[in-house]
Amino acid sequence: MKTNLADIRKDYSSRTLDTKDVLASPIEQFNLWLKQALEADALEATAMNLATVSKEGKPASRIVLLKGIEHARFVFYTNYQSHKGDDIKQNASGALNFFWPELERQVRIEGTIDKVSTEDSDKYFESRPYASKIGAWVSEQSKEIASREELEKRIEYYEKKFPEGTIVPRPAYWGGYALKPNYFEFWQGRPSRLHDRIVYDLEENIRWNIYRICP
C-alpha cells in the first residue's frame, strides 16, 4: 500500500510551556530539559543538528554530539578540515537543533562558533576510546576516498603506528568547537499544531529577553 505522506499526522498534547514556567537563564532551562530527556531515555538525547553556512551562502547541516556546555557555550568535536570545518572558518554563524520526540520537545539555538583551546581538545581526545582516536587519524573527513578497502588499509597503518596501550597523540587537524548562543527557542508540542514557542533573545550581549512567538 502506498503511503500518502500528506496524511501522516501526530497530535502533541503531553505538556505545556509558558513564559511564567521557564527559568531566567536559557542555559539553565536547556540543562533542565536535557536532564529530563536523559531521564526519559530519549534516543541519542545529546544528538544535535548543526547547521553551518559556506562563504557562498550555501547552508549545510548534519548530526553531531554535544560533548559539554562550558562557559555557557555548546561544545562539539570534529575534523577542522571537514565540510563543517571549512564552513566555520569562512562564516562563524551557526545553529543547533535538539529534538526529543519522547517529550514532544525541540530546542533551536543560534550563535557564533569558535575553536576551543588546544588544552581542552587534548583533554577530550585523551578521554576517547582507542578505536576512536585511531579513527581521527584515519579519516580525512568529507574528502573523497576510492573504497572502503582503502579506509581499512589506513586503519591497519595507524594501528601499527600507534599500537593499543601506547599514547595516541591528537591530530593537529582535529579538535573542538564551541557555539556561543545569542538566541534560543524552546518548543513544546501542542494539539492542532498550535505549539508553545518561548524565545530567549540576547539584547546588547547583556540580558535575555523572554517572550512567546506564534506557532
CA 191, CA 187: separation in Å to the nearest integer?
13
Kindly state the helix (H) or strand (E) to which residue 184 belongs, with its residue range. Answer: strand 174-188
The catalytic residues are 193
Q: Is 26 exposed, middle or buried (0-12, 13-18, 19+ CB in 10 A)?
A: buried
CA 107, CA 186: separation in Å to the nearest integer?
5
Q: What is the dihedral sign for C-alpha 60, 211, 106, 205?
A: positive
Q: What is the dihedral sign for C-alpha 5, 193, 94, 115?
A: negative
Helices and strands (DSSP H and E) totals, the chain: 5, 9
Gyration radius of the chain's alpha carbons = 20
